[in-house]
């Protein structure tokens, strides 16, 4: 379903009353204020009969988050048939059911937490297929697309602009944003996109990921194993994230704000087709939000 304010296939829900709460307090001058804060709630994910993880999430797309998480942890396969997804809002539980019998008891014994914001990410599972993935070499990135995507995404009504304390991930093709997901953890947002792509058979080779969060090892690994060849962020890098991007042949663009950006991997895909001097500086509101939430 198209959102009312954009042509996104799926987009943020800043007007959903379940996703924020109004909280009273005082400001730096001691004046009484009321502000919006993002709500977060636990979601326990089952794969068939096995409990996999409990993650903290805003709870807007529990079915997509569950499927995407299981895919990105290599618990769901690309050829798996999902026979049902059951969500109980009262119990805060989502169950993904597949034709294939599954048992990941041994796999869940050892967990190494990544630098992501929520519980349950297993680094070893993320790396299982990383070295075997070949990203499309013919993917291209025009600098005009970077500028256009940044402007469109930053102007989209979102929880990010409404309340902060949240991350966004956007699936794009060329200069067009397609799917915009938000959550308290950037990995949750990218998992929702992975779930949507899987459930709708969307190819990855011609896509771009845009994120408001840091370019960490986890974000790079998930982008690569989803088959997306280009990752752009308005935030910065970690050294391991850069190393992994170079190893995988992923184009990695960070600190993309206004006319500025830095490319640290996959430079051969860049086509400098736009004059930076013709690109307006980013609005102060967007810059202020980014500095607080990154």
3-state SS string for 44-73: EEEECCEEEEEEEECCCCHHHHHHHHHHHC
- Place 5 in a pLDDT band, splitting at 50, 70 and 90: very low
- Supply the pLDDT for residue 97: 98
Task: Give the domain extent around 283.
Answer: 141-293
Q: 3-state SS of 224-266?
A: HHCCCCEEEECCCECHHHHHHHHHHCCEEEEEEECCEEEEEEC
Asked if residue 87 is part of any domain, the answer here is no
Number of domains observed in the structure of the chain: 1
CATH code for the domain of 173: 3.40.140.10
- Supply the pLDDT for residue 1: 42
Asked if residue 117 is part of any domain, the answer here is no
- Place 290 in a pLDDT band, splitting at 50, 70 and 90: very low
Q: What's the rounded mean pLDDT across residues 264-283?
A: 91
- With 80 as the cut, is the pLDDT of residue 4 above it? no
Of all residues in the chain, the percent with pLDDT exceeding 70 is 87
pLDDT tens string 81-132: 999 999 999 999 999 999 999 988 777 765 544 444 444 444 455 677 788 8
pTM of the model: 0.87
Asked if residue 199 is part of any domain, the answer here is yes
Asked if residue 88 is part of any domain, the answer here is no
- With 80 as the cut, is the pLDDT of residue 63 above it? yes
Asked if residue 248 is part of any domain, the answer here is yes
Look up residue 203 and give its two tokens.
């190819």
Asked if residue 64 is part of any domain, the answer here is no
Asked if residue 253 is part of any domain, the answer here is yes
């Amino acid at each position: 379903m198209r959102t009312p304010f954009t042509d996104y296939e799926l987009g943020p829900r800043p007007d959903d009353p379940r996703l924020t709460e109004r909280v009273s307090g005082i400001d730096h001058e001691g004046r009484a204020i009321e502000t919006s804060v993002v709500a977060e709630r636990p979601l326990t994910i089952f794969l068939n009969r096995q409990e996999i993880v409990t993650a903290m999430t805003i709870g807007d797309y529990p079915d997509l988050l569950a499927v995407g998480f299981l895919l990105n942890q290599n618990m769901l396969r690309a050829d798996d048939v999902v026979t049902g997804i059951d969500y109980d809002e009262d119990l805060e539980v989502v169950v993904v059911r597949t034709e294939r019998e599954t048992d990941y008891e041994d796999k869940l014994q050892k967990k190494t937490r990544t630098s992501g914001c929520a519980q349950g990410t297993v680094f070893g599972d993320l790396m299982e297929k990383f070295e075997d993935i070949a990203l499309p070499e013919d993917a291209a990135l025009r600098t005009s697309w970077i500028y256009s995507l940044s402007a469109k995404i930053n102007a989209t009504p979102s929880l990010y602009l409404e309340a902060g304390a949240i991350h966004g991930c956007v699936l794009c093709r060329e200069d067009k944003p397609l799917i915009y997901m938000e959550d308290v953890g950037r990995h949750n947002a990218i998992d929702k996109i992975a779930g949507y792509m899987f459930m709708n058979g969307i190819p990855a080779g011609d896509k771009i990921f845009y994120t408001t969060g840091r370019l960490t090892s986890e974000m790079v690994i998930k982008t690569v194993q989803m088959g997306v060849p280009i990752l752009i962020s308005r935030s910065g890098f970690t050294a391991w994230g850069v190393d992994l991007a170079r190893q995988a042949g992923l184009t990695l663009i960070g600190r993309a704000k206004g006319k500025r950006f830095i490319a640290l991997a996959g430079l051969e895909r860049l086509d400098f087709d736009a004059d930076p001097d013709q690109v307006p500086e980013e609005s102060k509101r967007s810059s202020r939000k980014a500095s607080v939430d990154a």
